[in-house]
């Protein structure tokens, strides 16, 4: 109810756009992988990664090297990417809860500006009790072309729905089939005079790690995997096995991405298409003896965020250390496309940074865990936290007080926690003050997780987890 009132009061207003009059809006191809951490690319220096297509693409892009997932879990991130809002505003701070059907989303805004809209692959913002249920048009958040499933990790037996409740199945490994379908969408729209937004969401490299096509799995031997220094000895054998499969998925997706780029080139769409590549969150993969996501450590919270802009924009490929967050992506894209930003949006517009201007965040952003759930439940060390992520430091506190402090420049593997060390007391106090200022400006009360669950009326089990049918 609170969210609906917010939209009625604020959602109708728009900030003036700076687009040039009479210029066609650029197309947007938005590609999002699931659980692909920012470190796992050749261009990021990972000796294991075989990502030649993305490595070449990165050299043509604005690469936000400090991009983070504000709440590094699937559903919250996707809802924030769609709405430009933080999780405590749109309410999707748990997996498997629904984004309000009347949310103001990037697809609705672009559709109102004359765009065709398409979504292919994973959705995961329509939690209504089942991850394999048909999603009716009124809950598709502005997307018209639709080949989607709420969520599955059966990549070789992957279902989806179109416009009817008939369940269909992607042929073979779903990311390859979804990419082919996206290529078809691009070829059709190359013949149209209407701009488009295509949202392509792959399920890998999210676990299970051993299900990539055989030719990609054959590329990796666990014994040859180079481990990050923060993987403890006790977890190294399992980490090598998991990482071999993880990188196999990544290699498969890199080939898929290369096919998309070739189709853009062949159809002439490259000249007027913004291409974005990102991920919803990372994967610990046994770094810090941790698994999966939802944590404030770099392997979980940092994500790839690459923007390739048409030559007409006049921007140069570059690596930016601006601290961009999930909710900032929507307003940045809208501004780059010359489309008005709804006043419901909370994120910052980084289009000026792309063009050589200042970092609108002031060099710091916030990471959150509003309610620990899933794999980060309390009995496994899960906790609510708020963290300040600057270009150099990660500082986190939980409800009991300061928890983590890392100098990511001097200690990129986060091996030395500086919290409570007398020689860093002044730094810790400064970061604490800045975090509190950020939370106050964002109206974040930092309450216990059950308080937010109660406010939004969600039904969770003893582990604060929403139980759903697969």
Q: Which positions are annotated as active-site residues?
A: 74, 124
- The 3-class SS string of 174-218 reads HHHHHHHHHHHHHHHHCCCCCCEEEEEEEEEECCCCCCCCHHHHC
The rounded distance, in Å, linking the Cα atoms of 46 and 36 is 13
Q: How many residues appear in the chain?
A: 470
Long-range contacts of 95-98 (CB under 8 A, 24+ apart): 95/124, 95/127, 95/373, 95/374, 95/466, 96/124, 96/127, 96/131, 96/151, 96/466, 96/468, 97/127, 97/456, 97/458, 97/466, 98/125, 98/126, 98/127, 98/128, 98/139
Residues 6+ apart with CB under 8 A from 206: 34, 35, 153, 283
**Is the backbone of residue 338 left (phi > 0), alpha (psi -120 to 50) or beta?**
left
How many alpha carbons fall within 13 Å on the CB side of residue 408? 18
Looking at 229-367, list the stretches that DSSP marks H as alpha helix, in order from N- to C-terminal side. 236-267, 298-301, 329-336, 351-354
- Rounded to the nearest angstrom, the gap between the alpha carbon of residue 198 and the centroid of all alpha carbons in its chain is 16
- State whether residue 272 is helix, strand or coil: helix
How many alpha carbons fall within 13 Å on the CB side of residue 390? 17
Tokens of 146: 């639709």
């Amino acid at each position: 109810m609170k969210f609906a009132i917010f939209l009625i009061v604020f959602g109708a207003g728009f900030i003036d756009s700076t687009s040039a009059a009479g210029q066609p809006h650029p197309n947007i191809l938005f590609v999002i992988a699931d659980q692909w951490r920012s470190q796992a690319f050749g261009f990021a220096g990972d000796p294991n990664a075989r990502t030649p297509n993305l490595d070449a693409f990165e050299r043509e892009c604005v690469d936000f090297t400090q991009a983070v997932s504000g709440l590094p879990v699937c559903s919250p991130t996707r809802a924030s990417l769609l709405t430009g809002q933080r999780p405590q505003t749109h309410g999707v701070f748990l997996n498997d809860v629904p984004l309000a059907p009347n949310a103001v989303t990037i697809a609705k805004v672009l559709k109102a500006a004359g765009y065709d809209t398409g979504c292919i692959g994973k959705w995961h913002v329509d939690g209504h009790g089942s991850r394999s249920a048909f999603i009716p048009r009124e809950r598709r958040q502005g997307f018209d072309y639709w080949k989607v499933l709420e969520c599955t990790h059966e990549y070789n037996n992957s279902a989806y729905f179109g416009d009817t409740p008939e369940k269909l199945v992607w042929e073979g490994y779903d990311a390859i089939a979804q990419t082919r379908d996206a290529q078809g969408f691009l070829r059709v729209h190359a013949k149209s005079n209407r701009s488009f937004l295509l949202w392509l969401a792959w399920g890998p490299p999210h676990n299970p790690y051993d299900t990539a096509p055989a030719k990609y799995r054959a590329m990796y031997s666990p014994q040859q995997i180079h481990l990050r220094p923060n993987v403890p000895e006790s977890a190294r054998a399992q980490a090598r096995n998991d990482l071999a499969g993880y990188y196999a998925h990544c290699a498969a997706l890199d080939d898929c991405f290369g096919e998309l780029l070739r189709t853009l080139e062949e159809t002439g769409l490259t000249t007027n298409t913004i291409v974005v590549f990102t991920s919803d969150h990372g994967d610990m993969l046994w770094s810090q003896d941790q698994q999966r996501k939802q944590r404030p450590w770099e392997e979980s919270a940092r994500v790839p965020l690459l923007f390739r802009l048409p030559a007409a924009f006049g921007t140069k490929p570059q690596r930016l250390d601006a601290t961009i967050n999930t909710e900032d992506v929507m307003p940045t894209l809208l501004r780059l496309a010359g489309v008005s930003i709804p006043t419901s949006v909370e994120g910052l517009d980084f289009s000026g940074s792309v063009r050589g201007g200042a970092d609108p965040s002031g060099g710091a952003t916030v990471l959150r865990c509003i309610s620990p759930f899933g794999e980060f439940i309390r009995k496994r060390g899960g906790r609510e936290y708020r963290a300040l992520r600057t270009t150099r430091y990660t500082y986190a506190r939980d409800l009991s007080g300061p928890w983590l402090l890392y100098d990511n420049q001097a200690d990129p593997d986060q091996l030395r926690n500086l919290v409570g060390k007398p020689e860093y007391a002044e730094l810790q106090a400064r970061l604490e003050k800045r975090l509190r200022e950020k939370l106050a400006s964002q109206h974040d009360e930092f309450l216990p997780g059950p308080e937010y669950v109660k406010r939004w009326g969600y039904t969770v089990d003893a582990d604060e987890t929403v139980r759903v049918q697969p």
